[in-house]
Amino acid sequence: MLHTVNKSPFGHSALDECISMAADGATILLIEDGVYAAKAGASYEGKLKAAMGNVKVAALGPDLAARGITACIEGVTVVDYDGFVELVAENKMTAWV
């Protein structure tokens, strides 16, 4: 299962809800303002690292770049648009809004 999260975890509960509901082995793809959760050194780092024990986490590279995020939490996979399409094609998808 692919879960997309497009809201910042600092102003919205979508990522927290997603983490609590995502099954082991699922992938969470952070897009748009959701990529703020992937920023290395941010206060959300511990929670996201803990989640990575059960789920894979990816972030959309162009959205990271658009927000000036140059360093991601270790273990977060950065994907381009082709990678995004590949994830969608290979998985059922749920969007957390």
pLDDT digits (tens, 9 = 90+) for 3-32: 999 999 999 999 999 999 999 999 999 999
**What pLDDT shows up at residue 39?**
97
Fold assignment, 2-96: Hypothetical Protein Ychn; Chain: A, (3.40.1260)
Domain ranges of the chain: 2-96
Q: Is the pTM of this model over 0.85?
A: yes
**Distance in angstroms (rounded) separating the CA atoms of residues 87 and 70:** 22
Beta strands in the chain (DSSP E): 2-5, 27-30, 56-60, 77-79, 93-96
Quote the pLDDT of residue 53.
94
pLDDT one-digit tens code per residue, 24-50: 999 999 999 999 999 999 999 999 999
What is the DSSP secondary structure assignment for residue 37, as one 8-state letter? G
Instruction: Decide if 50 contacts 26 (C-beta within 8 A).
Output: no
DSSP 8-state secondary structure symbol assigned to residue 39 = B
pLDDT digits (tens, 9 = 90+) for 40-76: 999 999 999 999 999 999 999 999 999 999 999 999 9
Residue 97 has pLDDT above 90, yes or no: no
